[in-house]
Amino acid sequence: MEETRTKTFPVKPKLKTKPRTQQQTPESKYWSSFKTQQIPKQFPIHSITYSPTPPHSFVAANSTSLHIFNSKTLSETSQITSFTDTVACSSFRNDGRLLAASDLSGLIQVYDFNERRRLRRLKSHTRPVRFVHYPRHDKLHLISGGDDALVKYWDVAEATQIHQFNGHKDYVRCGDSSPVNSDTFVTGSYDHIVKLWDVRVRDSSKSAMDFNHGCPVEDVVFLPSGGMIATAGGNSVKLWDIIGGGKLLYSMESHNKTVTSICVGKIGKDSGDESNQYRILSVGLDGYFKVFDYGSMKVTHSMRFPAPLVSLSYSPDCSTRVIGASNGMIYASKRKVKVDENEKQIVASEGSSIWRIRPLESTEKKVLKTTDFRYFQRGQGEKPSEGDYLVMRPKKVKLAAHDKLLNKFRHGDALVCVLEGKNPGHVVAVMEELVSRKKLLRCVSDLDLEKLELLLAFLHKYCTVPKYSSLLMGLANKVIEMRAEDIRASETLKKHIRNLKSTVEAEIRIQQSLQEIQGIISPLLRIAGRR
Amino acid sequence: MRGGQSYVSCPPSFSNDGNRLLVGCGNSVAIFSTATALQVSSLEGHTSTVTSVVVVPGSNILNYCWTSSLDGTIRYWDFSLFECIKKIDLNLPIFSMVIPSLLSTPEESSGKKKNVYAYVCMQTENGKDNKPKLCTAQIRKCNLTNYNKLSKLTLKETKRPQPLTISPCGNFLGIKDKRKLHIWKIPKVDSDSAVAKKITLHHTKTFSVLAFHPTERIVAAGDVTGRILIFRGFGAQNFQENGELLNRTSMTDEECKPGVRENDDAESCSTWHWHSSGVNLLSFSSDGVYLYSGGKEGVLVFWQLDTGKKKFLPRIGSPLQYFIDSPDPAFSSISCADNQIHIFKISSMEIMRSISGIKPPLSSQEICESISSQAAFDCTSGLVAVQTENYGIQFYSLFANRGLYEVQVCERNYQPVDEVTVVVTMVELSVDGSMMGTVEVKLPEEGIGGLICLKLWNLDSDTKRFSVSTLIYEPHRDAHISAIAFHPTRHMAVSSSYGGDFKIWVCREETQQKGQTHQNFSWMCHAVGNKAMRAAAFSADGSVLAIAADTVITLWDPDKNELIAVVGETPSPIGRLIFVGKSDNLLSVSHGSTPQLSVWSMSKLAASWSYRLEIEAVSCALDLSYFAVIALLPKSNERVFKGDGIILVFKATDPTPIASWSVTKAKGGSIAFLKGNPSELADGKSSQTLLAYLNGDREYVLFDPYDKEARELNMTMQDDLLGVEDNGGLSLLLLLFFRSSF
């Protein structure tokens, strides 16, 4: 009772109806929290690779050069340009110090990433090499696959080929190594087959396991458990169980065109149910980027880019996501991260330990004197202790300018004030409030010409909007009736009236055509209802 | 069991220790605790409205009070023991009473006990000549200590009864009479024959209230235009006694009496004007430094008496009636016209507690066509929900006889002086009391901007309060809503409109999210006709929906939105429909030129029986086949029945009433069957259904319609305000007269 008595009620626009579609889920909110930045390049971006070590720089292959980007600022830091042909693929060693890259001439080169110096040239493939990969737990070897349908296993230090697997019958375009085992890896080929290889098996044509994807395989990844792989090809992404003997678990077919690249990403959110869960991210030529939850077998997020997408990578620290398009555009997205209070403190303490900002002698409290202005503020920043009884200051009601004017009964000013604003909902709310005070027509008759122009412009714009029309149509009539002489006298006002008239005529036409449609439909509905 | 009386019919009075507030409340004096604002007890005995309560001042342990009533008696009570000590019968209704000698401090404690004299404003005795008298009220003196008969002395006769005002020290007595103030000086040693000296002060406007300064000779008077006049030094000439030394200027300079009308006996008169309409409340603070005033606008104004500076306690939300200072200087009480007594702290100018009576009915009945004054009853918990003036719904517990809480339907500040532009026209509760529907109407200004808004509310199971779940703007375009009905078991509501359609609102699904249910309402279907739909009702199991379309009843399947049947035809439009319990009978009430109460059998789809009665309200028992109606009686029969209405209880199959009671103020009344009071269950009584009758002034009575004893009990209380009275024989005759022919 007491609360209601002392309340002031600001005027509120009418509530809008809730949309029937589902609200954004926390997960899709997470994925759309990445802010995308466009980095234009000339040629298609066939490959994007993240460094496995912080600060997780990423490398994008564009024509005959590799562009190295800082993932914090999403700016290009340097290039590696010593290629003779288009770069097709690149891969970091697991410590991030070496980078292997292959090009369409069939040459594989290994660079020192920090100095961008070439260390080794691995030459054996005769056709373009589209796949080169450092095994996850192996610093010495390299896997590559080329359009000559051969998969090779290299000793990097010696720059020699240790082994060659020749089971594929078409271009080998992709592959991945097991995250749990340094000896097994998979490769995918345009002969629709994904093969699981074991380097310990020396029989060169015998794979450990085969998976038939059904389409030319564009990409294949191991899921973090190492027991499953995901393959992309055609319009589908398929999940296979390796431990279960190569069984097809699920086929995700929500892309409309060929899926070109997939990768595994972690939801790097600290709170929420979904935090630290893995998702399969996929991009396709249809321009869609999709997030697939392989736990519940559902596509949880989907967003569209304006170009066919060919490559995708997601940073291991979950902060950035880079998508390469066939028109040379790099869509680099970065997530806004709120720095935790704890982290801030840690950073601060680190900073102080380095810089020694905090002088030790000032810990003694100075006695404040009245000459110090802080004397008058003492105790204001005091934090309440646990047992203290808190006397809360009553919350201040924030009132908009029109509410303040309404509270002072300056009705005309309130109307003008809200008309000058942009929000039609508020204008209508103020008008309704004036109606309930029986002051609206009085306000309208007292408006001077400039303000009347504002009102007419508003009426022209909104009087046919269904939400407001019940009030505004009546008001428009009244305004024209009451201010006819002023309108006749002024040329600008006449123009507004002409605009208003054309809007109303357009609305009438719409209504007529709607009625025609209703006339067509209602007999049908009646027949349907009779059954 | 009675309740719902007005707490503001007379000024309340604090006990000497300030812990109790004595409030005249109908025929009794209710005693409230000021610490909790709950009723402690009541003094029963008067047989008509109590008109004044005077507490005998003294030390804290003295708990005596005098009360006067319209039944013509003055009673003396010990209100710590709740018993009547003395009763003086004056035989004529007493409108107001003051006792000056209680206030003046006894100077010498002589052995002889002084007589206590009261001044009463009472109805004039009928003279021997039966001439209609001009003056209906007179002010007389009455010896309370040993009463033989009224003293012959009549101080004044007035056309209308006027409340008496006494100065805080008991020296002066005043009344207002149109444009005059009459002030008497009360003799020091009072006796039956002692004549009080009188002066009269004049003004050009009608006075509305007056107040005396506690120590000085200052009287403040408010008039109907909102002016406050302060007369200083009144009666300097006429009240001067020989022995008394006045430290005022001598009488010689008569020419300088600023503001005083020519022959009036006052030294000066100043006028303050802040109130925009009549002043209802004037009171001086106990030290005489401040003057409190209040009026219709619900703002308490604090005037500094010397300078005229003002402070305000705004937004009390209702016209103010009385201001009473408590003996404890920390707080005082204000009585408001909306039946609330606020106890407020003077130092911080904030309201601490409120004694909340049932709020009076809306004054703006005619302003909106679709307004329904019917209260909604929650049968299981004994609550009644009534619309209030300040755009809210008050929930009032009928068993506890106090207001529980209010919900604000329309988020607006209420100003009592403003013209009414927003009205809460309807309130309806579902059978289990878990849902509420309200309709508010914003009136258009010259045809533009009107808005009708339907709100559906859900009961929060933890706090037991309603909160808005759904808001629907213009549910039936611009047509007014005629009725809301709730499905007895499911989350389904029906609204019907005068515009000729009805809509079924269904709670779509409840999505559990973060422990809180989000309910989405979607309207399922509607049927359109060109007849105004005035009533809607669900059957007890919710399988049939009955909608009154003008003069016929249409039956629908609420799930499939199919018309099942059309029943009957009444001579005038049907205004109310109700299914009788679990039986297959439907009750329809039609108003207009040929009012009718009809019972329709759903199995035969035909009328069973009917009466040509003007029915104000109907209710049926949940699990029984009984129903009760309030029938308004024609003016010619009022004498016979001692009331303007009659409550009849019928069995659905039988046109002969089981029981009947005649009642007063039936217009605007409502009726409901309630489940028995849980506290009474503990006493070993069986859980019986009670019938609640709420009259037009929102006073109510609860009684057991089946109990014979209760009926006899009601017989003895026939002179009562509510006047519930059994008269089986008469009503039968009446009903035979009204029986429709078939």
Q: What is the separation, in whole angstroms, between the first and last Cα of chain B?
A: 40
Query: Does the pLDDT at position A87 exceed 70?
Result: yes
> Quick check: is B298 in a domain?
yes
Mutate to test the interface with A, among B338, B418, B445, B453 (most CBs of A within 10 A): B445
Task: For Cα atoms B62, B68, B71, give the angle at the middle one, nearest 5 degrees.
Answer: 145
Gap between the Cα atoms of A243 and A248, Å rounded = 11
Integer-rounded Cα Rg, in Å, for chain A is: 34
**For the residues of A126-174, what is the DSSP string, one character each?**
SS-EEEEE--TT-SSEEEEEETTS-EEEEETTTTEEEEEE---SS-EEE
Q: Give the 3-state secondary structure percentages of chain B, helix then strand then coil, rounded to 5.
A: 5, 50, 50
CATH at residue B332: 2.130.10.10
Contact across the interface for A5 and B412, Cβ inside 8 Å: no
pLDDT in tens, B463-502: 888 888 888 888 887 788 888 888 888 888 888 888 888 8
Q: B418: which chain A residues are within 8 Å (Cβ-Cβ)?
A: 437
Angstroms from A421 CA to nearest CA on chain B: 21
What local confidence, expressed as pLDDT, does residue B421 receive? 81
Q: Which of B445, B474, B478 sits opposite A435 (nearest CB)?
A: B445
What local confidence, expressed as pLDDT, does residue B684 receive? 45
Angstroms from A33 CA to nearest CA on chain B: 22
**For the residues of A106-123, what is the DSSP string, one character each?**
SEEEEEETTTTEEEEEEE
Residues contacting residue B631 through CB under 8 Å, at least 6 positions apart:
B597, B611, B613, B614, B615, B616, B645, B646, B647, B648, B666
Contact present, B482 and B468 (Cβ < 8 Å)? no
Asked if the peptide bond before residue A40 counts as cis, ω within 30 degrees of 0, the response is no
Q: Which of A6, A435, A438 sits opposite B419 (nearest CB)?
A: A438
Contact across the interface for B449 and A4, Cβ inside 8 Å: no
Q: Which of B316, B351, B449 sits opposite A474 (nearest CB)?
A: B449
Residue ranges of E strands in B420-573: 422-429, 435-442, 451-459, 466-473, 475-478, 481-486, 492-497, 501-513, 516-528, 533-538, 545-549, 552-557, 562-567
Gap between the Cα atoms of B203 and B210, Å rounded = 13
What local confidence, expressed as pLDDT, does residue A395 receive? 78
Q: In which band, very low, low, confident or very high, does the pLDDT at B127 lie, cut at 50, 70 and 90?
A: low
Residue A51 to residues A68, A154, A266, A447, Cα–Cα distance (Å)? 10, 21, 16, 67
Contact across the interface for A436 and B442, Cβ inside 8 Å: yes
Angstroms from B559 CA to nearest CA on chain A: 15
Contact present, A90 and A101 (Cβ < 8 Å)? yes
What is the total count of domains within chain B? 1
What local confidence, expressed as pLDDT, does residue B369 receive? 64
Q: Is A252 on the interface with B (CB under 8 A)?
A: no
Q: Read off the DSSP letter of residue A396.
A: P
Q: Which residue has the higher pLDDT, A479 or B125?
A: A479
The mean of the pLDDT values for chain B is 78
Contact present, B278 and B268 (Cβ < 8 Å)? no
Q: Read off the DSSP letter of residue B356.
A: E
Q: How many CB pairs under 8 A join A and B?
A: 64
Gap between the Cα atoms of A530 and B582, Å rounded = 32
Q: Which of residues 446-465 of B touch A (CB under 8 A)?
A: 446-451
Gap between the Cα atoms of A177 and A180, Å rounded = 9
Gap between the Cα atoms of A269 and B588, Å rounded = 63
Q: Is A526 on the interface with B (CB under 8 A)?
A: no
Contact present, A440 and A431 (Cβ < 8 Å)? yes
**For the residues of B91-110, what is the DSSP string, one character each?**
SS-EEEEE-HHHHSPPSS--
Contact across the interface for A441 and B351, Cβ inside 8 Å: no
Query: Does the pLDDT at position B247 exceed 60?
Result: no
Q: Is B413 on the interface with A (CB under 8 A)?
A: yes
Query: Does the pLDDT at position B29 exceed 50?
Result: yes
What tokens were used for A107? 């040459």
Residues contacting residue B108 through CB under 8 Å, at least 6 positions apart:
none
Q: In which band, very low, low, confident or very high, does the pLDDT at B598 lie, cut at 50, 70 and 90?
A: confident
What local confidence, expressed as pLDDT, does residue A308 receive? 92
Q: Is B563 on the interface with A (CB under 8 A)?
A: no
Residue A265 to residues A32, A291, A321, B255, B410, Cα–Cα distance (Å)? 14, 9, 9, 101, 50
Q: A471: which chain B residues are within 8 Å (Cβ-Cβ)?
A: 448-449
Query: Residue range B311-339: average pLDDT?
Result: 86
Contact across the interface for A5 and B315, Cβ inside 8 Å: yes
Residue A444 to residues A430, B176, B686, Cα–Cα distance (Å)? 13, 46, 66
What local confidence, expressed as pLDDT, does residue B718 receive? 38
Residue B61 to residues B16, B42, B80, B434, Cα–Cα distance (Å)? 8, 19, 9, 48
Query: Does the pLDDT at position A323 exceed 80?
Result: yes
B615 sits in which H/E element: strand B614-620
Gap between the Cα atoms of A289 and A265, Å rounded = 13
Q: A1: which chain B residues are within 8 Å (Cβ-Cβ)?
A: 354, 356, 405-406
Q: State which residue of chain A sits closest to B403, comparing Cα positions.
A: A1
- Closest to A498 in 3D by CA, of A527, A457, A528: A457
Q: Which of A4, A5, A474 sits opposite B448 (nearest CB)?
A: A474
> Quick check: is B315 in a domain?
yes
The HSE-up count of residue A503 (CA atoms within 13 Å, CB side) is: 20
Backbone CA torsion sign across B85, B89, B94, B98 = negative
SS3 assignment for A41-108: CCCCEEEEEECCCCCCCEEEEECCEEEEEECCCCEEEEEECCCCCCEEEEEECCCCCEEEEEECCCEE
A6-10, B244-248, B611-615, B626-630: segment of lowest average pLDDT: B244-248
Q: State which residue of chain B sits closest to A440, comparing Cα positions.
A: B445
Find which of A136-145, B530-539, B609-618, B639-648 is predicted with most confidence, using mean pLDDT.
Answer: A136-145
Q: Which residue has the higher pLDDT, B683 or A60?
A: A60
Contact across the interface for B406 and A4, Cβ inside 8 Å: yes
- Closest to B339 in 3D by CA, of B257, B394, B378, B380: B394
**For the residues of B244-310, what is the DSSP string, one character each?**
PPP-S--TT-TT--TT--TT---SEEEEEE--SS-EEEEEE-TTSSEEEEEETT--EEEEETTT--E
The 8 Å CB, 24+ separation contacts for A290-299 are A290/A252, A290/A254, A290/A255, A291/A27, A291/A31, A291/A265, A292/A237, A292/A252, A293/A27, A294/A223, A294/A228, A294/A230, A294/A239, A294/A250, A297/A250, A297/A252, A299/A252, A299/A254
- Closest to B547 in 3D by CA, of B575, B521, B584: B575
Q: Is A249 on the interface with B (CB under 8 A)?
A: no
Q: State which residue of chain A sits closest to B393, comparing Cα positions.
A: A1
- Closest to B486 in 3D by CA, of B499, B467, B505: B505
Gap between the Cα atoms of B77 and B68, Å rounded = 11
Query: Does the pLDDT at position B136 exceed 60?
Result: yes
Range of the domain at B326: 203-356
Residue ranges of E strands in A207-271: 209-212, 217-222, 228-233, 236-241, 247-252, 259-266
Q: In which band, very low, low, confident or very high, does the pLDDT at B630 lie, cut at 50, 70 and 90?
A: confident
Q: A3: which chain B residues are within 8 Å (Cβ-Cβ)?
A: none
> Quick check: is B241 in a domain?
yes
Q: What is the separation, in whole angstroms, between the first and last Cα of chain A?
A: 55
What local confidence, expressed as pLDDT, does residue A131 receive? 92
Query: Residue range B204-210: average pLDDT?
Result: 89
Q: A474: which chain B residues are within 8 Å (Cβ-Cβ)?
A: 447-449
Q: Which of A4, A14, A438 sits opposite B445 (nearest CB)?
A: A438
Gap between the Cα atoms of A523 and B685, Å rounded = 63
Contact present, A352 and A358 (Cβ < 8 Å)? yes
Q: Which of residues 16-35 of A touch B (CB under 8 A)?
A: 18
Backbone CA torsion sign across B355, B356, B361, B367 = positive
Contact across the interface for B411 and A1, Cβ inside 8 Å: no
pLDDT in tens, A247-267: 888 998 889 899 999 999 888
Q: B316: which chain A residues are within 8 Å (Cβ-Cβ)?
A: 5
Q: State which residue of chain A sits closest to B316, comparing Cα positions.
A: A5
Contact present, B248 and B267 (Cβ < 8 Å)? yes
Q: Which of A2, A7, A474 sits opposite B447 (nearest CB)?
A: A474
Bridge partners (DSSP) listed for residue B311: B302
ipTM of predicted complex: 0.81
pLDDT in tens, B63-91: 888 888 888 888 888 888 888 888 888 87
Q: State which residue of chain A sits closest to B351, comparing Cα positions.
A: A2
Q: A14: which chain B residues are within 8 Å (Cβ-Cβ)?
A: 473
CA dihedral B660→B662→B668→B671, nearest 10 degrees, is: -30
Angstroms from A404 CA to nearest CA on chain B: 14
What local confidence, expressed as pLDDT, does residue B716 receive? 35
The mean of the pLDDT values for chain A is 85
pLDDT in tens, A218-239: 999 999 888 899 999 999 999 9
Q: In which band, very low, low, confident or very high, does the pLDDT at B520 lie, cut at 50, 70 and 90?
A: low
Q: Is B526 on the interface with A (CB under 8 A)?
A: no
Q: B443: which chain A residues are within 8 Å (Cβ-Cβ)?
A: 436
Query: Residue range A96-107: average pLDDT?
Result: 90
Q: A470: which chain B residues are within 8 Å (Cβ-Cβ)?
A: 474, 478
Q: Is A12 on the interface with B (CB under 8 A)?
A: yes
The HSE-up count of residue B414 (CA atoms within 13 Å, CB side) is: 22
Q: Is B411 on the interface with A (CB under 8 A)?
A: yes
Contact across the interface for B446 and A441, Cβ inside 8 Å: yes
Q: Which of residues 447-476 of A touch B (CB under 8 A)?
A: 470-471, 474-475
Q: State which residue of chain B sits closest to A7, comparing Cα positions.
A: B413
What tokens were used for B309? 């500076």
Rounded percentage of chain A residues whose pLDDT exceeds 70:
90
What's the full length of chain B, in residues?
Answer: 742
Gap between the Cα atoms of B51 and B30, Å rounded = 13
What local confidence, expressed as pLDDT, does residue A345 receive? 53
Residues contacting residue B2 through CB under 8 Å, at least 6 positions apart:
B26, B699, B700, B701, B702, B722
What local confidence, expressed as pLDDT, does residue A388 receive? 82
What local confidence, expressed as pLDDT, does residue B694 receive? 85
Task: Work out the number of other CB atoms within 10 angstroms of the CB of residue A486.
Answer: 14
pLDDT in tens, A337-376: 665 555 555 544 544 444 544 445 545 566 778 888 888 8
Angstroms from B411 CA to nearest CA on chain A: 6
Gap between the Cα atoms of B310 and B293, Å rounded = 10
